[in-house]
Each structure stands twice: as structure tokens, then as C-alpha cells.
Amino acid sequence: MNVRRILAAIALTLALAGAAHAVEPGEMLKDPALEARARALSTELRCMVCQNQSIDDSEAPLAADIRVLLRERLTAGDSDKQVIDYLVSRYGEFILLKPPFNWDTLILWAVPPLVLVAGGLAAFVGYRRRQPAAPKPLNKAEQEALERLLSQGP
């Protein structure tokens, strides 16, 4: 088989592969609208064990417990905001993958732009230092020597 075809097949497989979801069939709600809301909310919540995964992607037992709790609250009639508020009151703002902008998270939101500006300034200063300095003007003796050389011709 042609190597290009193999590579193309691998690339196509990877492109079509979606994110693996850890939601178990037993956790899913029968109402498709409620399940869609639950899935949308669970992508916004952090697994407290994995910390860099949403509870929708995590296979940790705590993430499964939070997914079940989230679905229980939705089934009870809570709005999306009420569910999020309940989980934040129970686990703290750390459970949110996208924390809100407030005084407690100011440093979290301010550091990336500050690092970007500092990096830009460092690159600018480094670039300016690499530039050759402007030549010094010739003194009178050097100017006269240059004029003699130029007047002699080739």
C-alpha cells in the first residue's frame, strides 16, 4: 500500500475522532433536551480530580458523582444558573473551567496579558540591542584623509 494513503487514512481518522466523553449510558437522561443541557453544563465544569478536564471528559468517580448531581438538579427543575450556583457553593469557583472575572480571580485574568506585554517589550529591547549603532562622525584629520583618498581617483 502507498505510504501517502496510509498517512491520509491516519489523518482522516484523527480528524474525525471526536473528544471521548466519559458519560455512562446509565447517567444519561431520557429527555433529550435535558440531556443536551446537562452535556453543555458538564463541559463547563472542572473535574476536581483531573483538574484539566471537564467532568464530561473525566472518568474519575468524583466527576461521575458530579454529573449525576447535575442531572438530578436539572430533573428537579433548576435553571442552568441555579445548577452552576449550587455546584459553586458546594465545590467553590475552582469547579468552573472558565472562572468569572472578579477580585478573587483578577490575578488569573491579568497575568496572561501582562506576560504577553512583558514578552513583547523584551523582544523589542532585544531587537533594538542587536541593531548596529550609528557610526560616529569623522574627526577633522579623518575627514581630510578621506578627501585625499577620494581626490586621487581610481
The model's pLDDT over 114-127, given as tens digits with 9 standing for 90+, comes to: 999 999 999 998 88
CA separation for the pair 84, 45 (Å, rounded): 9
> What percent helix, strand, coil does the chain show, rounded to 5?
65, 5, 35
pLDDT tens digit sequence for 18-40: 444 566 666 677 778 888 888 88
Q: Which of 51-55, 75-79, 95-99 has the highest mean pLDDT?
A: 75-79
Cell numbers 531587537 correspond to: 127
Contact 101, 109 (CB under 8 A): yes
Q: With a threshold of 0.75, does the pTM exceed it?
A: no
In the chain the first and final C-alpha atoms are separated, in Å, by 69
Indicate if the pLDDT at residue 86 is higher than 90: yes
CB 149 within 8 A of CB 138: no
Residue 106 dihedral angles phi and psi, to the nearest 5°? -55, -45
Q: Is the model more confident about 7 or about 91?
A: 91
Residue 129: band (very low, low, confident or very high) from pLDDT cuts 50, 70, 90: confident
Domain architecture of the chain: domains with CATH: 21-154 (1.10.8.640)
